[in-house]
Chain A
Amino acid sequence: GEDVEQSLFLSVREGDSSVINCTYTDSSSTYLYWYKQEPGAGLQLLTYIFSNMDMKQDQRLTVLLNKKDKHLSLRIADTQTGDSAIYFCAVLMDSSYKLIFGSGTRLLVRP
């Protein structure tokens, strides 16, 4: 089945850029997502990208997709302490319409 992998932890200084990486195995996925989970809360969609795109920018967020390597990344510019959360990469499997999540990357922003 589909496997989505992320590194578990990332620590950055406030004002720096954060880059969270994700790899997946299902090359037929049409939609790829980044979700954010704050403590005690549900998941909130941050942004998404279609598989026919290489890059998508939305304010401080930049998503890069390398289909050949099945690699997705989320860059957060000018990272703020409020960005501290767990970030999940998710891939929609076209064959079953299942949304498969990675294990999440915990981002810690140091003042």
Chain B
Amino acid sequence: DAGVIQSPRHEVTEMGQEVTLRCKPISGHNSLFWYRQTMMRGLELLIYFNNNVPIDDSGMPEDRFSAKMPNASFSTLKIQPSEPRDSAVYFCASSLDRQTTEAFFGQGTRLTVV
């Protein structure tokens, strides 16, 4: 397996534009997580899914953020409209189940909103 695949690796967009980040988890994994990493706040859990169902989205900062998982092999994180303070590295991770010894992380998407 190629691991968790995120796209794009880098995204630069203008304030107000819609941004969609994509993630393909490892095949067979039941849980998927979206994290945001910034210098100021470190790693923050935004939302996680189990069997394609959102379990906890309490980390989603605002209504501008939304996440979907239409099937077991794909998830999106959308920001609409984007703002400069959304600039961060966004990580997707997947794990075999909720109680697991390892969550596998993607390479991340570095988002810059100008």
Contact = CB atoms under 8 A, between A and B. Distances in A.
Interface of A: 30-31, 33, 35, 40-45, 48, 88, 92, 96-104
Contacts of B101: 31, 45, 48
B106 interface: yes
Given A30-B99, A41-B107, A42-B91, A97 B45 contact: no
A101 B105 contact: no
Contacts of B78: none
B114 to A, nearest CB: 21
Interface in B67-104: 91, 93, 98-104
What does DSSP make chain A's interface, helix, strand, loop or mixed? strand
A99 B55 contact: no
A98 B103 CA distance: 11
B103 A99 contact: yes
Q: Give the interface size bracket for B toward A.
A: 20 to 34
B88 to A, nearest CB: 14
Nearest to A6: B42
Given A43-B91, A104-B43, A97 B107 contact: no
Contact of B103 (A40, A45, A96, A104): A45
A88 B102 CA distance: 14
A104 B105 contact: no
Contacts of A44: 105
Interface string B36-69: 0000001101001010000110000000000000
B108 to A, nearest CB: 5
Contact of A99 (B4, B45, B50): B45
21 contacts: A31-B99, A31-B100, A33-B102, A35-B105, A41-B107, A42-B4, A42-B91, A43-B43, A43-B93, A45-B101, A45-B104, A88-B43, A96-B56, A97-B55, A98-B48, A99-B33, A99-B45, A100-B45, A101-B35, A104-B42, A104-B43
